Structure 1
Amino acid sequence: MLPGFERRTLPLAPDFEGEVVATLVRRRRDEPLPHDAGVDVLYVHGWTDYFFQTHLADFWEGLGVRFHALDLRKYGRSIRPHHTPGFITRLETYDEDLEAALAQIGHGESDRPTRGLVLMGHSTGGLVLSLWTDRHPGRADALVLNSPWLEFQTRKVGRRVLEPSVRAQAALAPRSQLVNVDLGYYVRAVSSRQDGSWELDPAWHPDEGWRATPAWLAAIFDGHEQVARGLSIDVPVLVLLSARSTPPVRWSEDMHRTDSVLDVEGVARRTMRLGRLVTLARVEGALHDVTLSAPEVRDVVWQEMRRWVRTYAPLRAPEPEPASPTAPVRGWRRWFGRS
């Protein structure tokens, strides 16, 4: 467990592998935030990943925002010995995980929340949250996407070549293992066990990832196709991407300064299909998880996020010092008529 954080196991409906859970993580606090902006954040990780980015929690809490992270079913703290890691057949399956987490933080379907809600997703988590927000208008106030996996790495041509065989395998042997094309270069650039700076749990974030299953990849293809057709997300969206990609075919020092997982140009083109108000920030020197980049690059990421949040997120301003009995008190900043 991360020092200073606590977790809550969220039981979900069992599937064909038996017990299934998600895990909600948050800072352990004896006292409330010094300034409460009246907003909650729920963060969702990517493929072969889990929440460990405590500095991301620091950023949000520095703005007075209550931070929560979710380890989805069969990832990270939610993996059980009988699980096929990361296995699902439909991305909509994660609706149950998200609803369980949102209910815990006061944003469930039957709640009448008095706080704003910002969703943040990385990579596959960004794809999952984009589709969820599109299907559930009015539930969130803003969406932040950190290198969201909105397009396949080889784009439309690659999908056309691979998709028929993947779907055939998904129908015949959904949990069989596909050829692993992850050579571990991204983890090499990130992990303190190799050339990086971040401590990763090898059980939850193995060096060469997990062997993908055809059913899971078919579900990803379905998600990419939905984005390609266009979504109608009704809240402001911030997309953070590296300025450049490095193909992960052989190790290069450029992998310390580029996205070695996704084709950022293909993803950038897809961002305009998300909704009517999308901000795209391309960050020179950023890694696939832009928040794990070098310190000077992270400073740019925080600057871009802070500027966007102050413009579009429903932050409640600090109560001003009472200069006089008639001093005004600023309230919520809203948009699209939500209240």
Structure 2
Amino acid sequence: MRIPFDELLERTRTLFEENGLQPEYAKITAEAICTASLRGTDSHGIRLIPHYIRAIKAGRIEAGVSFDFRKTSLSTGILDARHGMAHAAVARAMDYATELAAEAGSGFVAVKNSNHCGAMAYYALRAAEKGMIGLAFTNATAKVKVFNATRPFFGINPLCVAAPMEGEEPFCYDAAPTVMSNNKVKMVAEAGQELPEWVAADKAGKMTRDPALSKMLLPLGGELGGYKGYGMAMVADIFSSLLSGMPNGLQVSSMYPSDGGDLDKKRYLGQFVGAIRIDLFEEASVFKERMRKTAEEVRNLNREDPEREVMIPGDPEKKVAEKRRREGIELSGELQDLFGI
């Protein structure tokens, strides 16, 4: 069953309000989750709504709290999510970051006592839509195999950067330090499919194509350059864990009960967001036009495979969003039950 994006947004907002979120936070949470699915990031979109509702009911997520923001300098601050809904917390943190940047030129906010916040693109794009460069990081459960080690240490900690462009939606690079996120591996398992090679490893650290045996994910860079992938994870960990004062590495709690993550236990995740004013470095219109020109030059490069387009980061998501706005977004049976459809 498919439903229009606007209807999905409203049903999701209503569901979270019914489960205790303040109206403002429910609206932001619905936008973040539904936008992920609209853009084709299904692993971090509406499929996780049942998980979040269970986490609220079990006590991991404190639905009714208000966030606390403390400004620490002209351009920095800390937001205490108070174990509330992280999508709303990180979005509000970015709003504070853009407010700081408007005055100081740049703004950076660390988020503490947080939860899983979904796809990072939503937050970085929040800054880009205001004409700024946006940055967003989060930590996660230790799942990335360390190069030449037999076990993981850092989480699948994504790095996200967004920047405005002339004549189209902003550029957005949102990527994990692995070929797939852990939630995508779970989607492969749910579909009864095999993983591609060099995506996951079993408990002994050996590559596996069976998602049921996946205990860690292999870093970007493969056999020769895997240190690059887990190095990216460490960079995100520095920003989101160490600056926020939250647990890092092996101390980061698990998301799912199947991985030992009790839904009645707080997660203590950390995030970090930033916003940078472009006009203090370059005329904004010139920057946006050069972004557009750069994108077009890349897209117009000669194709190695004539059947496939040359794209820049964010292009696949833009295409999926356009299609899903026309055709609607697929709902699972579980979501239909939750929405009472």
Common fold by TM > 0.5: no
More helix by share: 2
**TM-score, length-normalised on structure 1?**
0.30
**TM-score, length-normalised on structure 2?**
0.30
Higher relative contact order (CA 8 A, sep 6+): 2
